[in-house]
């Protein structure tokens, strides 16, 4: 309970939530004789979390301008948010989407991987691991409503959900394009990708660091369906409703059965994977690649 | 030989088979100077087994009204039948089909899993395991001629064959819909499914407990082709002939190479899997789900 | 360096290559103040190797009439050639194609597997393993420009590349058709195939020993695209250029990550696999099958 309260303190704007414990507790208002709260919104620095207590469906809307980069702060907030939703028995599903036009998320924040200490790299990488373990292993129904481009680490978030719906806009791209930057998606990114699209498509796409347009992503199986952007949220809600029609325990055990071996692989090699990342990213050649990439991004903006 | 005779005694109607040993022996009639028996039919309680000695192709036709439920009795007969066909060198292929309109088989008999003793659950589960080990590991060419709906355990039978042909009727459905009933397909159902349709389709279909119409099943790769129902048996015979054109030993070694790791996984964890099933199915919450499901079925009939 | 020179001596025709070390050295001519050699052709008995030093792209053109059979000599030359290209830092990619109309390669040379000593079988099989280990694990970008039929061992070569382009001619076929000959593709052929087309397609195609026409091969994913034969080499060059646009180290680490487990499986069981092959191929029944097959081939020619 202390944990729940501290989380509520973290992400809740005072005024919206006079009674923190009600937000994440299940049926607390009802037990207190109050009419059920149907929809509540909580915002923190990097994302807006809304839980519809009637349906048990939460929406996590990324709102970290300019491009929802997965910085250490972002990942930490997301992790805390997911943990609390997971522990809230009133929450059965989460929809991830973006509050920023044209971009779902730009992926891992390169500034966290460039010119920092090895300790920082290690801390950052543990945060990335942690989000994936939480999301890929979530007991909740997880749906990505991809309303913009979704490269690299952001694509991993989408791939880790149970279902992916993308706005039908050929300008929006998605893919694990790490190799374009001279870096390498780790084995658990790869395992997640292979589980979605199979070995061959993953091998080719990862080697080429491909960013696929929405129609191509559908064809390759990276996303499950495309809908016009204005219908994306409704569609996500409909998909969640379909998945929630199943008994939770049977769905959860089935999901765990499908994903356990891949989750276990990282759990078994987690610290080794941190050391690999730190060793790789600390190389001067890699640092140089990343600096050049960031220069290019700056020039493109300018 | 004793085994062969006892099996013949089991499933053969007296009168049809004056010389049991000829039925399952290979070329016994020829050796005895008799004209070759081209087609022989044997019936038992739950299924009709026909072996065409000329072609070496057996047909197993399920005929256990009302819906070919995979009861303990059904599974036991099927197991004995398959064992004898497997050991009969004159039999090289089996076609599975149904004698009952609109239903291939309704899957595992829920009455075997509801309100019985833990010993009964264990015995039943071992019978299910046994059928799968026998069928998925069969040296014979196995073809499912799916002339009706094929949910849950019945879908597993089809998935375990070398080839699946389904009647082109959108009212017929197929899938591993266990989670709809609040139960969970075990890991070897899942492994078999993944080997046929890949990880992604299996993950989604198993979590949703989907029953796919014949056209959808074709699209997902659950079945290999659709044909009009009246052509189903001819098509199955043609497919078998194509597969039998290959040298048996090369085909068998190849099949074993493809399936061994998945078969071994159950063999290694067989008793553990029985205990898991018994523990799960004995839970009051699961028993309640199953009772509700059976009530619903009864009402639907009434 | 000694190795590089001895290889150059092996495959280089005197006159074409006055300075052997320049051929495989990277930028040796430039360092010596000479204008860069843009295109150099070396021919040996079984294949023509051309390295474009400007682009770093080598072409290996099989030219061993009548059908580019993968004999022990052919495999040995190919292995030495690949090793040298791999060790040449100026070479980043290889395109494989055939100089013989209508046939990419006929696959493993059956005469090497028939009527020879067990020592010979073992030596031959180690050469087959060696080529696969080298090709499937190559750091270079590898593209098969399949300008003719490509059965059995020849299909394995193609499957081991990063990308497969086939001439759009329905008369050209490709597949692992070993079982048609009464022999069995070993587990690492199977693993390679499964990584390309998935478990289901591999299981069916391997059991049936199917040879797929070019359009069918595209549909099944055995090849990545079809182009008119006259555009095949240009297309291969364009694909290589696309793959070489990526930083080598990121692409190479990614490739290794995708293929390592399958490569390791053979490395761990390499001698066991040799013994299996020798034991299998030495069987009188298998020898008889192969002799019959060769008789049939002879008659077909006659």
C162 close to A (CB below 8 A): yes
Count CB neighbours of C50 within 10 A: 15
Whether pLDDT at B26 is above 60: no
Cβ neighbours of residue A38 under 8 Å, at least 6 residues apart? A52, A53, A54
In angstroms, what CA-CA distances link A208 with A176, B35, B223?
A: 9, 66, 33
Whether pLDDT at A258 is above 60: yes
Q: Helix axis angle, C270-282 relative to C284-301, nearest 10°?
A: 70
B214-228 residue pLDDT tens: 999 999 999 999 999
For residues C165-172, give the mean pLDDT.
Answer: 98
Contact assignment for A181 to C253 by CB distance below 8 Å: no
Among this protein's residues, is C25 annotated catalytic?
Answer: no
Backbone angles phi, psi at C115, to 5 degrees: 75, 20
Count CB neighbours of A225 within 10 A: 12
In angstroms, what CA-CA distances link B234 with B101, B161, B229, B238, C210?
A: 17, 17, 10, 6, 22
Q: Of B131, B139, B157, B130, whose CA–CA distance to B222 is shortest?
A: B157
Straight-line distance from the first to the last Cα atom of chain A, in angstroms, rounded to the nearest whole number: 49
From the candidates A17, A75, A78, A108, which is the catalytic residue? A108
Nearest CA in chain A to C223: A200
Nearest CA in chain B to C180: B246
- Residue B298 — pLDDT band, cuts 50, 70, 90? confident
Q: Where are the beta strands (DSSP E) in A233-284?
A: none
Beta bridge partners, A47, equal A62
- Residue A42 — pLDDT band, cuts 50, 70, 90? low
Which of B182, B187, B200 faces A247 most closely, judged by CB atoms? Answer: B182
User: For chain C, what is the radius of gyration of the CA atoms?
Assistant: 19
Task: Report the share of chain B in percent with pLDDT over 70.
Answer: 85
Whether pLDDT at C10 is above 70: no
**Angle, alpha carbons C264-C270-C274 (nearest 5°):** 155
pLDDT at B293: 86
**Rounded Cα distance, A203 and A194, in Å:** 8
The token duo for B60 is 């197993």
From the candidates C68, C88, C147, C177, which is the catalytic residue? C177
Backbone angles phi, psi at B74, to 5 degrees: -60, -50
Whether pLDDT at A76 is above 50: yes
The token duo for C48 is 């023509």
**Exposure string for B7-25, b = 16+ CB within 10 A, e = fewer:** bbeebbeeeebeebebbbb
- Residue A298 — pLDDT band, cuts 50, 70, 90? confident
Beta bridge partners, A109, equal none
Task: Report the share of chain A in percent with pLDDT over 90.
Answer: 80
Top-confidence residue, C23 or B154: B154
C284 close to B (CB below 8 A): no
Nearest CA in chain A to B178: A250
Which residues in A lie closer than 8 A to residue B191 (C-beta atoms)?
none
DSSP string, A188-211: HHHHHHHHHH-HHHHHHHHHHT--
Among this protein's residues, is A272 annotated catalytic?
Answer: no
Which residues in C lie closer than 8 A to residue B198 (C-beta atoms)?
198-200
Helices (H) and strands (E) in chain B, counts: 13, 11
- What's the gap in Å between the CA of C242 and the closest CA on chain A? 8
- Best to test chain B binding among A195, A221, A250 (most B CBs inside 10 Å): A250
Nearest CA in chain A to B191: A258
C211-228 residue pLDDT tens: 999 999 999 999 999 999
pLDDT at C43: 64
Among this protein's residues, is B45 annotated catalytic?
Answer: no
Edge-to-edge order in the sheet of strand C93-98: C39-43, C47-52, C57-62, C93-98, C141-146, C163-167, C225-227
Backbone angles phi, psi at A16, to 5 degrees: -70, -30
pLDDT at C23: 31
Which residues in B lie closer than 8 A to residue C209 (C-beta atoms)?
246, 250
B145 close to C (CB below 8 A): no
The token duo for C265 is 């499986």
C124 close to A (CB below 8 A): no
CA B177 to chain centre: 17
Which of B181, B200, B207 faces A251 most closely, judged by CB atoms? Answer: B207
Count CB neighbours of B52 within 10 A: 17
Contact C195, C260 (CB under 8 A): no
pLDDT at B44: 73
Nearest CA in chain B to C178: B250
Contact assignment for C179 to B250 by CB distance below 8 Å: yes
Count CB neighbours of B285 within 10 A: 11
Report helix, strand and coil shares of chain A as percent, to nearest 5. 55, 15, 30
B196 close to C (CB below 8 A): yes
A17 close to C (CB below 8 A): no
From the candidates A159, A176, A178, A220, which is the catalytic residue? A178
Contact B180, B206 (CB under 8 A): no
- Residue C293 — pLDDT band, cuts 50, 70, 90? confident
Furthest-apart CA atoms within chain B: distance in Å: 64
**Rounded Cα distance, B153 and B107, in Å:** 4
Contact C290, C112 (CB under 8 A): no
Q: Of B17, B107, B90, whose CA–CA distance to B52 is shortest?
A: B90
Contact B96, B161 (CB under 8 A): yes
Burial degree of C285 (CB within 10 A; 0-12, 13-18, 19+): exposed
C58 close to B (CB below 8 A): no
**Rounded Cα distance, C279 and C121, in Å:** 9
Among this protein's residues, is C178 annotated catalytic?
Answer: yes
Contact A97, A61 (CB under 8 A): yes
**Rounded Cα distance, A81 and A135, in Å:** 11
Count CB neighbours of B289 within 10 A: 18
pLDDT at A37: 53
Whether pLDDT at C181 is above 70: yes
**Rounded Cα distance, A78 and A140, in Å:** 15
Which of B162, B196, B197 faces C207 most closely, judged by CB atoms? Answer: B162
- What's the gap in Å between the CA of A220 and the closest CA on chain B? 12
Which residues in A lie closer than 8 A to residue B178 (C-beta atoms)?
250
The token duo for C288 is 């008889």
A185-223 residue pLDDT tens: 999 999 999 999 999 999 999 999 999 999 999 999 999
């Amino acid at each position: 309970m202390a944990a729940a309260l501290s989380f509520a303190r973290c992400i809740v704007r005072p005024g919206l939530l006079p009674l923190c414990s009600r937000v994440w507790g299940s049926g607390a208002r009802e037990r207190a004789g109050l009419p059920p709260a149907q929809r509540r919104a909580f915002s923190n620095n990097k994302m807006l979390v809304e839980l519809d207590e009637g349906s048990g469906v939460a929406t996590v809307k990324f709102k970290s301008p300019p491009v929802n980069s997965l910085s250490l702060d972002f990942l930490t907030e997301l992790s805390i948010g997911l943990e609390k939703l997971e522990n809230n028995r009133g929450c059965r599903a989460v929809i991830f989407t973006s509050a920023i036009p044209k971009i779902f998320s730009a992926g891992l924040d390169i500034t966290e991987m460039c010119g920092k200490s090895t300790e920082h790299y290690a801390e950052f990488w543990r945060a990335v691991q942690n989000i994936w373990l939480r999301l890929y292993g979530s007991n909740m129904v997880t749906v990505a409503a991809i309303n913009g481009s979704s490269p690299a680490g952001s694509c991993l978030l989408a791939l880790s959900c149970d279902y992916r719906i993308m706005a039908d806009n050929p300008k929006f791209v998605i893919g694990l394009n790490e190799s374009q930057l001279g870096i390498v998606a780790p084995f658990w990114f790869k395992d997640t990708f292979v589980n979605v699209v199979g070995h061959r498509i993953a091998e080719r796409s990862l080697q080429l660091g491909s960013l696929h347009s929405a129609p191509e992503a559908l064809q390759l199986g990276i996303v499950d369906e495309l809908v016009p952007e204005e219908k994306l949220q409704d569609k996500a809600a409909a998909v969640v409703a379909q998945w929630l029609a199943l008994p939770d325990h049977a769905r959860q055990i089935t999901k765990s059965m499908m994903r356990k071996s891949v989750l276990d692989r990282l759990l078994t090699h987690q610290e080794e994977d941190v050391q690999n990342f730190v060793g790789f990213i600390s190389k001067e050649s890699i640092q140089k690649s990343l600096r050049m990439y960031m220069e290019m991004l700056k020039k493109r903006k300018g």
